[in-house]
Chain A
Amino acid sequence: MTVLVAGTSEQAVAGRSLWRDARARLRRNRAAVASLVVLGAIALLALFAPYLSIHPYDKVYFDRIQVPPDFGAGHWFGTDGSGRDLFVRTLYGARVSLMVGLLATAVALAIGVVYGAVAGFVGGRIDELMMRAVDVMYSLPFMFFVIILMVMFGRNIYLIFVALGAVEWLTMARIVRGQTLSVRRKEYIEAARASGVPTPTIIRRHVIPNVLGPVIVYVTLTVPHVIIVESFISFLGLGVQEPLTSWGVLVSEGARVMEEAPWMLLFPAGFLAATLVALNFVGDGLRDALDPKQRP
């Protein structure tokens, strides 16, 4: 009994110091800190979007269709091809895109990491079976998957997140499995096994923390991918419905008129790019901070 208590408290101490170290290291990484500030600012803008402009996001001004930025009229980013204020639409787009990116990635992360870690660690027949299942999922036509989901559950924007997450986890699972395969034969895992620690505990305590690095990098790649895929789904008429919008939709509308109405491309694309670059630096910072070998 005492041994067990002692063991747990030791674990807790170790855990806390690991995370505290990581936080300290992250704080020293200037690019990551600056990126966190940018992300926070964009999130706040998105949150308070309705209070930041005099224009509603769906109001059509027939006399101001596709006009360049006009401060007098309060169109700081100009208007779109339907005569709606682009500033407020960009912020509303941020809401949808950030939600899509985060939720879908969270779903992908949860499924992918667990699935990949189990397959890689357990190995053998089960691993093979699980990976063949991934092969099957990979090869299915993604579009029909989305179309069918829409039909079965109606058009609900939250379903897009789930649908995307349910597809994006596949690569995540493969990456985690690959890492796990190389981790599982390490001495400390053999030791844990030998001393009779149950498999789920080994996976949770030793395998997952060790594959965190590549996973975090991949997460920062998945978010942008999901945001772009969302625009493609919307383009097919399966995603977010007008008058709601997303960055992906705004950017694809802007790309059509990049010569005659560059503001329609530059503003949403700028927000999108800033978010993605910031995510990238935060991801790198996190990865470096969590790397156990990099203790100062």
Chain B
Amino acid sequence: MFRTALMAGALALAAAFSPTLAPAQSTLRVANMGEPESLDPHFVSGTWENRIIGDLFLGLTTEAADGSVIPGSAERWAISEDGRVYTFKIRSHKWSDGQPVTAADFEFALRRILAPETTAKYASLLYPIKNAEKFKKNETKELGVKTVGADVLEVTLENPTPYFLAQLTHYTAFPVPKHAVEKHGKDWVKPGNFVSNGAYVMTEWQPSSHVKTVKNPNFYDAANVKIEAVIWYPGEDRAAATKRFRAGEIEVATDFASDQIELLKKEIPKETRISPYLGIYYFAFNTAKKPFDDVRVRQALSMAIDREAITDKVLKTGEIAAYSFVPPGTDNYGEPAYVAFKGQGYDANKKKAIELLTAAGYGPGKPLKITIAYNTSENHKKICIALAAMWKELGVESELFNTEVKVHYNNLNEGAFDVGRAGWIADYNDPQNFLFLMQTSSGKLNYAKYSSPGFDKLMDEANRTVDLKKRAAIMREAEAISMRDLPNIPIYYYVSKNLVSPKVKGWIDNTKDIHRTRWLSLG
């Protein structure tokens, strides 16, 4: 009796709050795995911000449902013979407040992000544009960007850059509304002031609670945009986000914890989507430090890793064992250059590794001692435990060194490590975006402090080469050098992991893991 009354009470309470529970079915709810740092495209740096911002703004080029590059704000373009001058014809379309989008908005945006005083973290991605680097360093006022007419933009590059069109889909190249920025200054991104030219416009942002975006009626292709609104929850706790998904509180979770894979495969196999992703998980050797300056030591340690055991037994989420630095399937490349020990069998590799270590002067009497550094994360921990166990087979004594993320990267930047975990997710689909990490000129990003004149020379040559086939061959030669020297140990190629409700239609798995809401619908 009491129980029934309690239940009735609970139901009445539930009914009182139910309107907020069941929003109109044209609202998509996403657990985004992070709180945005900003919604100004010039000041963001994370994939979670890209998901929101890519819905809000339309770059000169943009992504199709399958992630491929298609015309965006630019209707069409022409490229000069030498591959250095791009002329874009801007589509006739409007900002969300009704103002027309012009070539001047693009020039304004590029000058703004590249201005010396703008504290944009990843402005360096635009350095292929002529004089961009000098402009940023305040060495010149000239920039290779010119408004030729109200709707014609001309961009001149330093070198022929075959990935330039792909790069324009990146948020660093998005337009910003000149009129709104000039009127509101830094506050132009606040709800109410916010103006965008993409399929959606931001209307609400409660920090650490949610960002709400609604359909932009002025979007040029608004007729084909089916979802009325998107609510982006930070959802940083992956296990909690998975539970919300299972309870039907969200339609998309953009990641899940890999230790839950078996449960997910059992409970929601259709919703669990795993797909190859353009990224490499690797460990960097500190090549400036003994004994890791010895190529034999690096080779031995790299060989003795049973990558399939890591991907198939430890992670179990479909990651692919990596034997090259550039993931297979990267555009403008073909087959990557693999390490020599690929396909030799783990036991043979182990034997060879012991020989190499002995040659380098390490053996039972004098064991090699290594500290393996990683930043806090359950997966990193498991992989490092596995590495230590595999290296133990060679007689190597490893100590695990876990630090929080800022200390970890500070140590990598300062060269205060032996072997350190790192990862790289491509900004644009091109082998250069992986290989440049090992160039001497990359400075801090080159954690291994690898410096090979041969490698550097080939990379410079590739940058100047217009012919895509020749360029690919040169870069493959460079990769082959690095896979012999092994400053970095590739472990696996990343996969993207999403939970997508069957209600969501139009979701196509792709290597960039980009799924713009304009292509989706709720059925």
**Residues of A bordering B, CB below 8 Å:** 59-60, 62-63, 65-66, 81-84, 147, 235-238, 241-243, 253, 256-257, 259-260
List residues of chain B with CB within 8 A of the CB of A60: 385-386, 389
List residues of chain A with CB within 8 A of the CB of B403: 237-238
- Interface pairs (25), CB distance under 8 Å: A60-B386, A62-B313, A62-B386, A62-B389, A66-B259, A81-B259, A81-B314, A82-B314, A82-B381, A147-B404, A235-B376, A237-B407, A237-B408, A241-B401, A242-B384, A242-B385, A243-B388, A243-B400, A256-B239, A256-B257, A256-B259, A256-B378, A257-B259, A260-B262, A260-B263
Residue of chain B at shortest CB distance from A65: B313
User: Closest approach, in angstroms, between the C-beta of B417 and any C-beta of chain A?
Assistant: 14
The yes or no answer to B260 lying at the interface (CB within 8 A) is yes
Would B378 and A82 count as touching, CB distance under 8 A? no
Would B382 and A81 count as touching, CB distance under 8 A? yes
List residues of chain A with CB within 8 A of the CB of B440: none
Would B263 and A259 count as touching, CB distance under 8 A? yes
Would A238 and B239 count as touching, CB distance under 8 A? no
Chain B residue total in the interface (Cβ 8 A) = 28
Partner of A242, one of B239, B306, B402: B402
> Which of B388-403 touch A at CB < 8 Å?
388-389, 399-403
Besides A81-B259, A237-B375, A243-B388, 11 other A-B contacts (C-beta < 8 A): A62-B313, A62-B389, A81-B378, A235-B376, A237-B408, A238-B403, A241-B401, A241-B402, A242-B402, A256-B260, A257-B259
Of A65, A147, A238, A242, most buried by chain B (CB within 10 Å of CB) is A242
Give the complex CA separation of A253 and B382 in angstroms. 11
Would A82 and B382 count as touching, CB distance under 8 A? yes
Of A82, A83, A243, most buried by chain B (CB within 10 Å of CB) is A82
The yes or no answer to B309 lying at the interface (CB within 8 A) is yes
List residues of chain B with CB within 8 A of the CB of A257: 259-260
Give the complex CA separation of A243 and B385 in angstroms. 7
Give the complex CA separation of A247 and B420 in angstroms. 27
Would B376 and A236 count as touching, CB distance under 8 A? yes
Give the complex CA separation of A83 and B399 in angstroms. 18
Give the complex CA separation of A256 and B386 in angstroms. 20
List residues of chain A with CB within 8 A of the CB of B402: 237, 241-242
Residue of chain B at shortest CB distance from A238: B404
Would B260 and A260 count as touching, CB distance under 8 A? yes
Residue of chain A at shortest CB distance from B375: A237
User: Closest approach, in angstroms, between the C-beta of A173 and any C-beta of chain B?
Assistant: 30
Would A237 and B382 count as touching, CB distance under 8 A? no
Would B376 and A65 count as touching, CB distance under 8 A? no
Give the complex CA separation of A237 and B421 in angstroms. 14
